[in-house]
Amino acid sequence: MDFELSEKEMLLQKSVREFAENEIPPKMEDMEETGEFPVDLLGPMGRLGITGVITPPEYGGVGLGYMARTIVLEELGRVCAAMPMALQVHHMACAGINDFGTEEQKKKYLPPMARGETMGVVAVTDPSGGSDLIGMQTRAEPQKDKYLLTGRKCFITNFDTSDFWVIIAKTSEGSKGLSAFIVEKDAPGAKVGRKEQKTGLRGSNTGELVFDGVELTKDNLLGQEGGGLAVAIKTISETGRLGMAATALGILNACIEEACKFAIERELYGKSISALQAIQWHIADIYADLEIARLLTYRASCMKDQNMRFDPESALAKSFACEAAARSAKKAIEIHGSYGIMREYAVQRLLRDALVTIPAGGTGEIAKIVLSRAALSKFKKR
Ligand SMILES: Cc1cc2nc3c(=O)[nH]c(=O)nc-3n(C[C@H](O)[C@H](O)[C@H](O)COP(=O)(O)OP(=O)(O)OC[C@H]3O[C@@H](n4cnc5c(N)ncnc54)[C@H](O)[C@@H]3O)c2cc1C
């Protein structure tokens, strides 16, 4: 077990921190107001290697892996958590195509995504199938030599800033009845629907995708017909949950910084409130949440890089980090007194952002199902 970052990872961390501190703050007011992701930062992120951080070099990426990706998302999230939210879903599309795509699909989609010229999406959720994937009603009806895609996906990140979509749809019934497709956004019958106005993570676009008889061929299939559940589960549990854990980790970094700075500066009774034990306990709790979330998220990232199975570890990292971020942001607000709920102070945004991370990528209850299944299977009667 090695707790040191490699030289490459430290360099990456430094360059992403500089990028995040210089490039994101001038955009943040606009992101909060309009709820729009700053697409003009995609190119610079491509040049920095972070849109293609997990994409192998043969497909135009830098191939640094998941630990490096976690560092990238954490650093961006420390400044503004909407940035890693959008980027992590883009990475999910990269991972899905890299893991399940044909050579032709990889060559077509991965290099421009790595350069930050195009953006991707993985769209699983639909109104009747959130946690219940099999319950989805978006259908790709098999015809003679094509499929007809009809339905609606909801809560989709990057829905209108992306160039193509990885869609999971029903091609028949049951767990082998789901299939994954790559759908171009200008395909006839495909359109973006309603944009959601979220409480937090405002600068990452979330909304609907609508399909009305979109004609797809076998070339659009990602993986095998009937293999959509595997595409969804692998991309969500390995890339999506880790991505949300790292996003929440970014928020926790911001919580400890904002809480400590305010506590040191604010004076009451003729001294800094950081001298009050009640404030110190809040700070200790935030610090503990940050350190535990970081250990869990880094461990799961290393397991992914070592090709180990890590479903419970990623579910635990995700659910712990997102709940911890919400809990810690609330404590950071309390340290600020009434200042904490004022728009000028970052802590109110941290709480709004943290709350939105909780369902994204799978709810806490679904994480508990993964954890209890892992624990019970260890003690199963033979
Ligand atoms: C900011 C954001 C971004 C998102 N981005 C994407 C995206 O890019 N792509 C995408 O496909 N989806 C995306 N989602 C959707 C997200 O993955 C779903 O919202 C999530 O999986 C939960 O589904 P649901 O909202 O339909 O809740 P439901 O599944 O309806 O759940 C409602 C409640 O029931 C509980 N519940 C459900 N099943 C069980 C069970 N078996 N046991 C116990 N309790 C249960 C849930 O935990 C929850 O409390 C995003 C969501 C958000 C908030």
Query: Which domains does the chain show, CATH number per domain?
Result: 7-114 (1.10.540.10), 122-229 (2.40.110.10), 236-375 (1.20.140.10)
Pocket test for ligand 1, best of 88, 155, 208 (most atoms within 8 A of CB): 155
Report in angstroms the alpha-carbon separations of 236 from 249, 298, 367.
Answer: 18, 17, 12
| 147-169 per-position pLDDT tens digit | 999 999 999 999 999 999 999 99
- pLDDT of 1: 77
Res. 248: pLDDT tops 90: yes
Query: Which band of pLDDT confidence, cut at 50, 70 and 90, is reported for residue 3?
Result: confident
Across 105-128, average pLDDT = 97
Our measurement of the distance from residue 73's CA atom to the centroid of its chain's CA atoms, rounded to an integer in Å, reads: 9
CB-CB contact of 302 with 230 (8 Å): no
Across 197-224, average pLDDT = 97
Residue 315 alpha carbon to ligand 1 centre in Å: 14
Q: Which residue has the tokens 């909060």?
A: 32
Residue 230 alpha carbon to ligand 1 centre in Å: 18
DSSP 8-state code for residue 49: T
Provide the percentage of residues in the chain whose pLDDT is more than 90. Answer: 97
Pocket test for ligand 1, best of 318, 363, 373 (most atoms within 8 A of CB): 363
Q: Output the residue whose Cα is nearest ligand 1's atom 30.
A: 130
- pLDDT of 301: 97
Show Cβ contacts of residue 303 under 8 Å, excluding neighbours closer than 6 positions: 309, 310, 313
Res. 61: pLDDT tops 80: yes
| 217-229 per-position pLDDT tens digit | 999 999 999 999 9
Mean pLDDT, the chain, integer: 97
